[in-house]
């Protein structure tokens, strides 16, 4: 039977079978995986220990399906069939859960790496030991820093039987996506949807509904997905980020967007299957 809570966050290991611990080790932002034929797997503690690897910033993430998970930084590949792989490439061959855990691992490691010194007094920071919360605490002035994430909205806007897709100047020729943008400090998600859509395409929307969310570790974001309906206005792109935007019918969409593990793909496919 599938567990109700599959991932249990914890600063300490939750299970006793330490040799099974999954080790998410990164070189900068590339994950070390073991290559087994066509598959990439996460090394476990037992496999790695014989190489006596030098690991920095080792942290317990918690446990997934009863197996402790750790993250850390490793400078060199260990001997054997291992390689470093970026998470975008890794995401193409794995389950959504595996992607989320590797994302958690990189997010936690980045947070620990980026908070080695106190932003107030410059002294050494360490992981807080007491309590269940994960915070870096200053060894001199007790300033604490909790993990931070940058929320961004992503929205599928429909007008009758059509979906709004936009071409960003960074995209390859002929490729489109739904609209997205970072939430400003002190802004609600709904206000952000209205503002981003209006700034980028000049149209107004209503019936904004929550769709789902996805942590996005490139480098540290949380995508909050919405659907919305066209209210009024003519498309007028900002020509800054967005250079083209159009209403597409279901028949016109295949081949015009990049399929990936992202919530962007999920939202487009939600429309296609509507
Ligand atoms: Zn301090």
Q: What's the average model confidence in pLDDT over 167-178?
A: 94
Residue 180: count other Cβ atoms within 10 Å of its Cβ: 24
CATH topology assigned to domain 7-113: Nucleoside Triphosphate Pyrophosphohydrolase (3.90.79)
What digits encode the pLDDT tens for the residues 207-228?
999 999 999 887 889 999 999 9
CA 29–ligand 1 middle distance (angstroms): 27
Q: How far is the CA of 134 from the centre of ligand 1 (A)?
A: 17
Average pLDDT over residues 191-215: 97
Distances (CA, A) of 81 to 18, 78, 93, 154: 22, 9, 18, 38
The pLDDT tens digits of the residues spanning 132-159 come to: 889 999 999 999 999 989 999 999 999 9
CATH number of 150-272: 3.90.79.10, 2.40.50.500, 3.40.50.2020, 3.40.50.300? Answer: 3.90.79.10
Phi, psi of 99 (to 5 degrees): -65, -45
For ligand 1, the distance from its centroid to the CA atom of residue 36, given in whole angstroms, is 46
Report the pLDDT value the prediction gives residue 8, as an integer from 0 to 100: 95
Kindly indicate the confidence band of residue 37, based on its pLDDT and cuts at 50, 70 and 90.
confident
CA of 193 to the centre of ligand 1 (A): 37
- 30 Cα to the center of ligand 1, angstroms: 31
pLDDT confidence of residue 3: 86
Dist. CA 123 → ligand 1 center (Å): 5
Interval 122-128 mean pLDDT = 97
Q: Quote the ligand 1 centre to 49 CA distance (angstroms).
A: 35
Q: How far is the CA of 122 from the centre of ligand 1 (A)?
A: 6
SS (H, E, C) the chain: CCCCCCEEECCCCCCCCHHHCEEEEEECCEEEEEEECCEEECCEHHHHHCCCCCEEEEEEEEEECCEEEEEEEECCCCCCCEEEEEHHHHHCCCCHHHHHHHHHHHHHHHHHHHCCECCCCCCEEEECCCCCCCCEEECCCCCEECCCCEEEEEEEEEECCEEEEEEECCCCCCCCECEEEECCCCCCHHHHHHHHHHHHHCCEEEEEEEEEEEEECCCCEEEEEEEEEEEECCCCCCCCCEEEEEEEEHHHCCCCCCCCCCHHHHHHHHHHCC
What's the 152 CA to ligand 1 centre distance in angstroms? 30
**Interval 102-116: pLDDT, tens:** 999 999 999 999 999
Confidence of residue 95 (pLDDT cuts 50, 70, 90): confident
State the distance from the centre of ligand 1 to the C-alpha of 137, rounded, in angstroms: 8
Q: How confident is the model at residue 248 (pLDDT cuts 50, 70, 90)?
A: very high
Common-topology check for domains 7-113 and 150-272 = yes
CA–centroid distance, 112 to ligand 1, in Å, is: 15
According to the model, what pLDDT value does residue 96 have? 86
Q: What percent of the chain has pLDDT over 90?
A: 82
Work out the widest C-alpha separation in the chain, in whole angstroms. Answer: 64
For position 92, what pLDDT does the model report? 85
Question: What residue ranges do the domains of the chain occupy?
Answer: 7-113, 115-147, 150-272
Is 80 exceeded by the pLDDT of residue 230? yes
CA of 74 to the centre of ligand 1 (A): 28
Residue 38 has pLDDT above 80, yes or no: yes
**Which residues are registered as beta bridge partners of 242?**
168
């Amino acid at each position: 039977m599938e567990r109700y809570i599959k991932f249990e966050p914890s600063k300490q290991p939750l299970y006793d079978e330490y040799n099974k611990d999954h080790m998410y080790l990164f070189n900068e932002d590339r994950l070390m995986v073991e290559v087994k034929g066509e598959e990439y797997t996460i090394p476990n503690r037992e496999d790695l220990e014989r190489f006596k690897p030098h690991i920095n910033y080792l942290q317990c993430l918690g446990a997934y399906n009863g197996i402790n998970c750790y993250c850390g930084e490793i400078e060199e590949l260990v001997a054997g069939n291992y390689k470093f792989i970026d998470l975008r490439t890794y995401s193409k061959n794995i389950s959504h859960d595996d992607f989320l855990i590797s994302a958690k691992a990189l997010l936690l490691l980045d947070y620990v790496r980026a908070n080695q010194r106190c932003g107030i007094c410059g002294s050494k920071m360490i992981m807080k030991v007491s309590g269940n919360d994960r915070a870096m605490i200053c060894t001199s002035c007790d300033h604490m820093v909790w993990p931070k994430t940058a929320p961004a909205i992503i929205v599928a806007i429909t007008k009758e039987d059509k979906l709004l897709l936009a071409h960003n100047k960074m995209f390859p020729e002929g490729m489109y996506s739904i609209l997205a943008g970072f939430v400003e400090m002190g802004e609600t998600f709904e206000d952000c949807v209205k503002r981003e859509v209006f700034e980028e395409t000049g149209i107004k929307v209503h019936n904004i509904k929550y769709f789902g969310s996805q942590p996005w570790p490139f480098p540290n974001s949380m995508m909050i997905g919405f659907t919305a309906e066209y209210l009024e206005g003519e498309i007028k792109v900002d020509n800054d980020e967005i250079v083209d935007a159009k209403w597409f019918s279901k028949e016109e969409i295949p081949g015009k967007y990049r399929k990936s593990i992202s919530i962007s793909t999920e939202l487009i496919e939600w429309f296609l299957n509507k």
